[in-house]
Each structure stands twice: as structure tokens, then as C-alpha cells.
Amino acid sequence: MGQSERREGELAQLPPGQRLQRGWPVTHYGPVPKFKPDRWEFRIFGATADGDKHTWTHDEFTALPYTTVVADLHCVTKFSMLGAEWGGVAARTFLELAPPAPETTHVMVWAEYGFSANLRLADFASERTILATHKDGEQLTAEHGFPVRLIVPHLYAWKGPKWVRGVEYMTADRRGFWEERGYHNVGDPWREQRYSYQEEPGDGPEL
């Protein structure tokens, strides 16, 4: 049974070393960006199949098919928030609208102020990965990532940038912001992949 199908009354499963957090703390590095609707665009670039950059204005992004995913959020600093319903656009929708070139193996998800997180293409392509605009039916607040944040349910939450502006298709792996600063390149909470010193050959590019 998947995480999304947990029944009421059933004990929620926490990954090793995590503890339950009541409420929803705000965790990020740097200031909260101000949303400027006329300058905002969401872009997909890099190794696209057609070689072009694809962009969406905020209105265009909002008009894309809306879906929901129930998923937990696990911060590497050890708190977890369980059972949030994220609403937004499935990552797969973008893979269909702007397909990657066949050589694409990884993506870099870019956010305001140059924050970034790298993912294996398969992690981004998960049917549960979502570019979220809402949580539990309400629009995200500025500090939680409005207008768009990424949720990758099966990875630690630093792999889900808030204030996302684009996705770069890559033909080789490259470390993102926290992955360059001591965090694990893959970041699977169920395997407790917290720090880069735990990496095994094949988990990521040389540090």
C-alpha cells in the first residue's frame, strides 16, 4: 500500500531518524522572494528534444491540468510533516509538453536567487512528483513557496525547491545548492541518505 493510501487510524510511517512535527515550520536559506507576476515565467531548457526553451507565463501555468498528491515532507534536520495534500501540475505534464532529449539523465530544478536541486530524471518523472501551487486546497503562502514549489514525495525536502522558476534537462549529473554543501546527492529518507560522506560510488559526481 502506497503512502498516499494510508487509512485513517493507521499508524503513519516515519523514515528512520525522523520525528513528527505538528504544524508546518518554515525552513529555507535566504530571504523570501517577492512574486512579480509580469516578470515571472516558468522555463524548461537545456537538453530538450526540440532544442528549444519552453516558457509559461503565470496565467499559462495556472491553466495547466491540476492534480493532487498526498505526500509527506521530510526535512533532513529530522522533522517530518505527514499527509499533506499537494495540488498543482504533475512533473510528468511538463515532460509531455516539453519532452527531454533521449540523452537526458538528470534535471536541475532552479528557484529564485539561484537556489537549485538536482534530481535523477526518474525522480522527476515519478508519477507523484508535483509542481505544487496549493496545500490542502489553499494557495501556498509566500514563505512556503508561492507561486510554485516542487514536491518529490520519495526524497528529502531539500530536493523540493520553493519559488521554482525552471527545470534544466541535463545529460550528466551536476550537484545543486545543498548537494554541493554536504548533503547527499540522492537524498532517499528511507535509506537515510542525509550527507554526502555517505555516498557510494555511482550516487553522485565527485566532490
CB of 25 vs ligand MTE, minimal distance in Å: 6
Beta-ladder partners of 86: 69, 135
CB of 29 vs Mo ion, minimal distance in Å: 9
CB of 96 vs ligand MTE, minimal distance in Å: 25
CB contact at 8 A, 130 and 88: yes
Virtual torsion, Cα 99, 101, 102, 105, nearest 10 deg: -90
CA separation for the pair 82, 130 (Å, rounded): 16
Report the candidate in 20, 42, 63, 47 with the shortest Cα–Cα distance to residue 149. 42
Query: x/- site string to Mo ion, residues 135 to 164, per CB under 5 A?
Result: ----------------------xx------
Select 25 or 182, whichever has its Cβ closest to ligand MTE.
25
Select 128 or 144, whichever has its Cβ closest to ligand MTE.
144
Select 61 or 178, whichever has its Cβ closest to ligand MTE.
178
Select 64 or 75, whichever has its Cβ closest to Mo ion.
75
| Cis previous bond, 16, omega within 30 | no
Which residues, 75 to 94, sit near Mo ion by CB under 5 A? 75-76
CA separation for the pair 207, 185 (Å, rounded): 10
**Residue ranges in contact with ligand MTE by CB under 6 A:** 24-29, 75, 111, 115, 144, 157-158, 160-163
**Residue 115 contact partner, candidates Mo ion, ligand MTE, none, CB within 5 to 8 A by sort of partner:** ligand MTE
CB of 72 vs ligand MTE, minimal distance in Å: 12
Residue type, 63: A
Report the candidate in 17, 138, 16, 153 with the shortest Cα–Cα distance to residue 82. 153
- Give the DSSP H/E element, type plus range, for residue 83: strand 79-90
Which residues, 97 to 116, sit near Mo ion by CB under 5 A? none
**Residue 128 contact partner, candidates Mo ion, ligand MTE, none, CB within 5 to 8 A by sort of partner:** none
Select 47 or 183, whichever has its Cβ closest to ligand MTE.
183
Distances (CA, A) of 156 to 15, 72, 81, 127, 189: 10, 10, 11, 17, 6
CB of 205 vs Mo ion, minimal distance in Å: 22
Write out the residues near Mo ion by the rule CB under 5 A: 27, 75-76, 157-158
